[in-house]
Chains A and B, each alone.
Chain A
Amino acid sequence: MYYKKLLLLKVLIIGLLTGLTIFYFHLQQPKTQSNTIFTKLFDSQNHPSGFKFYTDEINPKILGYGGKFRILVTLDSDLKITEAQLIEHHETAAYINERIEKFLYQFIGKSGEHFKIGQNIDAMTRATISSKAFTSSIEQGIEKIRQIISDRHYFSKKNTKKIVPVTNYFDQIIPFLLFMLAILAMLNANQILRWITLLTSLIYLGIIKSSMLSIITLGNISLGQTPDYNLNPIWYILMTLNLLTLILFKNVYCASICPFLAVQDIANTIRQKLHFSSIPMNNKLRITKYFVLGIALLLFIIYRNTDAIIFEPYVLLFSGNPSVYGLILLIILIATSFFIYRFWCKFFCPWGALQKLIYKLNLFTVPAPKSTIEEKNDSKKIFLTLYIITIVFIILTIAFNITNLKKSTISAHSPGTNVLMTEKNESDKIKKELEAKGIRPVSAKYWEKL
């Protein structure tokens, strides 16, 4: 009876969480487009001189790697691009910052052609998804304006040139295959299959795609920033399959897929081959990872910025630009994994902690008797030392992130960005207020931009 009640409770909780999540995502939908999706520009003699638009206003559905972004595009009257400026984004700041100016510069002077990354547009290094998203939104924006100003019948679909980003089939199949392989491996306790999965994940998810599950993912979801499916299907497939397996099967991700797991298990195998003995662990300290999870989430709530919580080794290794402290932390974790089996996973991994919590909702587990892991009476001093050093460097890494937060937010935008952001929101409000009082702003003379 107890078992059935527990099952029912689990189903209810899963149902409730699913419902809330769907509701949450529904709320995050972009608001209805305002009528002014682009602005006409006039010169000092009041002749039409071009147009300007914000990519997220003209194409609210195109999202970057990290979600919403905004590029201000200025066109002359022939719809040739005269200026393109990145105003806001949620991409990986480290990759975008240095490359965005050069990237956007490619668009200047271009008009009407189809932009193709790899052909007439070079992508930003290690930011392919961002590059594709930016390109697509600029191109579609111009196309929309062209249709509006040239077509008499705005709603006629005859001349519509729809540019839809091509879905990458490869990226959809491989993550799916990974999970299937991992499940098979677990069902058959097949070590070879497990290694194939691990290595494929290390190379594909880790090195090639830099796409894995971490608390950064949690952060993004809570900010409502989910990527466009067409541009980043891996994200969705990983999330969905992970949740499904956790609730219906086992913690497949942590056991066979996580790319850092591959690193740790390789290290462990090397240790075994070289006949080193492992360092005895203090298993009571496994609870630390729940604290890591809690504190990381707390920090995220305070700073509302995923850059603050970059400290997980798989993030640092595969998709971060680790600071000095992050690098040392990474080295410590890799080094210790040679001597302590799954040091990170067992004691510090916040994602693993979350997985374990969600696993409690699994519909098929039989409550197991409390396991008595026999604690050896050996000295745990070495372990404690390593444990404390790791904690210190996690703290240092996070602290460094936080102090750099303000700096990186500013440098993530193009110069003059904050000006334009406030301007866009505020100037419309101001213009409306003035208009209500019968005041019409007219171009003035004798001024300069600073």
Chain B
Amino acid sequence: MIKCDLCPRHCQIAPGKRGNCGVRINLDGELKTLVYGKPCAVHVDPIEKKPLFHFLPGSKAFSIATAGCNLHCKYCQNWEISQRLPEDVESIDMPPQKVVDEALRTECKSIAYTYSDPIIFYEYTYDISKLAKQHNVRNVLITAGWIEQQALIDLLPYTDAIKIDFKGITEEFYQKMSEATLQPVLDAIKTIHKNNTWLELVNLVVPTWNDSDADIEKLCSWILDNVGPNTPLHFSKFWPIHKLENLPPTPVATLTRAWEIAKNKGLNFVYIGNVPGHPGNNTYCPQCKKIAIKREGYEILEYNLDNGTCKFCANKIPGIWE
């Protein structure tokens, strides 16, 4: 029997069997990964799509993912790859060097480990990250953050930015929605912040699940108390999919209300994702309140920063701009 210590689930895996994520297997007395070098999703996306608004804005991210995930969220947008076994998806051969080469070839400034969750293709992520760093390509993790501390700490030296899905603020939510727990995510957020790795948070607002004022306020309080007002927080609109097709999509009004609560609480960089035209798309300078970056969807319409400082009032805006 083997105990996997990569994520808080700590699966105890019998010989020949796999962990809960479906991609780590106990073979010949060793734990092996079945997705190394076999991504099933490879795209070039704007970095804003992740969403990362304070990291190399306007740049392209070479995005890859393999099958599997250690969470099983009812609303998963990528369930067709995340809730599948590696043999049930179409994947291509892409050893780490090839990933880096392709990223360079497509003029991507960063490699994004996304769609499913880089945690479950950890070894692949790690090797690519190490290689990418040597070639001056940045590494961005798009993850739920449900990872064991040691694995996270070992990956941070090669990671340039992380976007964590801060899905909810109660254990109950994480259990019911994602078959996971809250605390390890909180610990991961704190560790990343302590390590000074660039961090942005996303909260998917799901009607009747976590859309109440109390939920939003509690979430924002935690962020303020633990990582401060300068960590960007994105509120995302939920679309009925996978196991929650019976719910309505999040009304814009709900998102706007969440946005306002967060700003009132003191968070400086609050965004509304996937609602074109909303003022929540823009970055506002916390000092002079002017629009530092104007966005329409994933496109940048105005860029009023100079080396990360507001052109209007010279206030330094946190982020990685170059």
Contact = CB atoms under 8 A, between A and B. Distances in A.
Contact of B1 (A426, A430, A438, A449): A449
Contacts of A447: 2-6, 24, 30-31
A420 B30 CA distance: 11
Nearest to B12: A450
Contact of A441 (B1, B15, B32): B32
Q: Which 4 A-B pairs have the closest CB atoms?
A: A441-B32, A442-B36, A447-B31, A450-B1
Interface residues of B, number: 32
Interface in B6-42: 6, 12, 14-16, 24-25, 27-34, 36-38
A443 interface: yes
Interface of A: 419-420, 422-423, 426-427, 430-431, 434, 437-450
Given A439-B87, A445-B151, A446-B4, A430 B123 contact: no
A419 B1 CA distance: 7
B27 to A, nearest CB: 5
Q: Chain B contact residues: over half helix, strand or loop, or mixed?
A: mixed
Contact of A426 (B2, B16, B30, B151): B16
B15 A444 contact: no
Nearest to B147: A446
Contacts of B32: 441-444
Contacts of A437: 87
B86 interface: yes
B8 to A, nearest CB: 12
A423 B15 contact: yes
B27 A427 contact: yes
6 contacts: A438-B91, A441-B27, A444-B122, A445-B6, A447-B5, A447-B6
Given A423-B29, A430-B16, 19 more contacts: A420-B15, A422-B15, A423-B15, A426-B16, A427-B15, A441-B34, A442-B33, A442-B123, A443-B123, A444-B4, A444-B31, A444-B32, A444-B123, A445-B126, A446-B6, A446-B148, A447-B5, A447-B31, A449-B1
Contacts of A444: 4, 6, 24, 30-33, 122-123
B150 interface: yes
A431 B91 CA distance: 18
Nearest to B4: A447
Contacts of A434: 34, 87
A449 B1 CA distance: 6
Q: Chain A contact residues: over half helix, strand or loop, or mixed?
A: mixed
Given A419-B15, A422-B16, A439-B86, A448 B33 contact: no
A256 B28 CA distance: 54
Contact of A448 (B3, B34, B36, B151): B3
Contacts, number: 90
Nearest to A447: B31
A440 B32 CA distance: 9
A442 B30 CA distance: 10
Given A447-B3, A450-B12, A439 B29 contact: no
Given A422-B16, A427-B15, A446-B122, A441 B25 contact: yes
B239 to A, nearest CB: 32
Instruction: Identify the interface centre among B14, B24, B31, B38: most chain A CB within 10 Å of its CB.
Output: B31
B29 A420 contact: yes
Contacts of B148: 446
A449 B2 contact: yes
A226 B90 CA distance: 51
Contact of A427 (B2, B28, B87, B91): B28
A423 B29 CA distance: 8
B33 to A, nearest CB: 4
Contact of A430 (B27, B29, B33, B86): B27
A419 B86 CA distance: 25
A78 B29 CA distance: 22
A149 B33 CA distance: 30
A419 B126 CA distance: 31
Interface in B25-70: 25, 27-34, 36-38
A447 B123 CA distance: 12
B38 A439 contact: yes
Contacts of A431: 27
Instruction: Identify the interface centre among B1, B15, B24: most chain A CB within 10 Å of its CB.
Output: B15
Interface string B266-284: 0000000000000000000
B195 to A, nearest CB: 18
A255 to B, nearest CB: 54
Nearest to A450: B1
A427 B108 CA distance: 40
Contacts of A445: 6, 122-123, 126, 151
Nearest to A418: B15
A444 B86 CA distance: 15
Contact of B34 (A423, A439, A449): A439
B29 A449 contact: yes
B52 to A, nearest CB: 26
Given A422-B16, A423-B15, A427-B15, A443 B1 contact: no
Contacts of B151: 445-446
Nearest to B13: A447
Contact of B15 (A426, A438, A443, A448): A426
A62 B6 CA distance: 43
Interface in B181-218: none
Nearest to A422: B15
A431 B25 CA distance: 11
Contact of B3 (A430, A442, A450): A450
Contacts of A420: 15, 29
